A and B are shown apart, each in its own frame.
Chain A
Amino acid sequence: RKEVEQDPGPFNVPEGATVAFNCTYSNSASQSFFWYRQDCRKEPKLLMSVYSSGNEDGRFTAQLNRASQYISLLIRDSKLSDSATYLCVVNVPSGAGSYQLTFGKGTKLSVIP
């Protein structure tokens, strides 16, 4: 099982739609969780951190379920500018007390006019 797995995508949705991405991680000792956004041929940029209590930033809501080792990202009222690849990122223990930020393969979102 891969350390971080995401929905395969691509997701093609109309403007205004609500879309949800899921991500699972294999190591229960993982400490912190993030969603990054990567535009075509650009570098990844932090979208939001994911907290145990769930957190919201405008149209974006992130949730964490530690028992199921599952993270989600919900985007409401999709905009054309939301088109990008969304990367699930987990801080995985790598031994000797250190952690390694491990990226999923990403899920590509295309918002269609």
Chain B
Amino acid sequence: EAGVAQSPRYKIIEKRQSVAFWCNPISGHATLYWYQQILGQGPKLLIQFQNNGVVDDSQLPKDRFSAERLKGVDSTLKIQPAKLEDSAVYLCASSPDGTANSPLHFGNGTRLTVT
């Protein structure tokens, strides 16, 4: 079974620039998540999709972050404009159905550095 694919692996941008990350979940997984992991902390949920609908985006800074999951498969996360504090690893995860006991499968993540 192919895992969750993310790209790019690394990205360095200057503050106020824009950046986009891409995620392809495991085939057939209905639920897709974007997490932000700042160095030394646990992952923090940014947004959760069930198919192509948003389930939870309560912790997404909507003034600068946006995400979409067109057709309920791939997803993109965008930051515009970036701030220094956005430097983190952005992890995409998927699960078969998003139920309480459904484990997450993470991608390798995109390491973002904002200078």
Contacts and interface: CB of A to CB of B under 8 A. Distances in A.
Interface of A: 4, 31-32, 34, 42-46, 49, 87, 91, 94-95, 98-106
B25 interface: no
A105 B41 contact: yes
B72 interface: no
B42 A106 contact: yes
* Majority secondary structure, A binding face: strand
B103 A46 contact: yes
A43 B103 contact: no
B100 interface: yes
B12 interface: no
Given A43-B91, A98-B55, A98-B56, A49 B103 contact: yes
Interface string B24-59: 000000000101000011111100100000011010
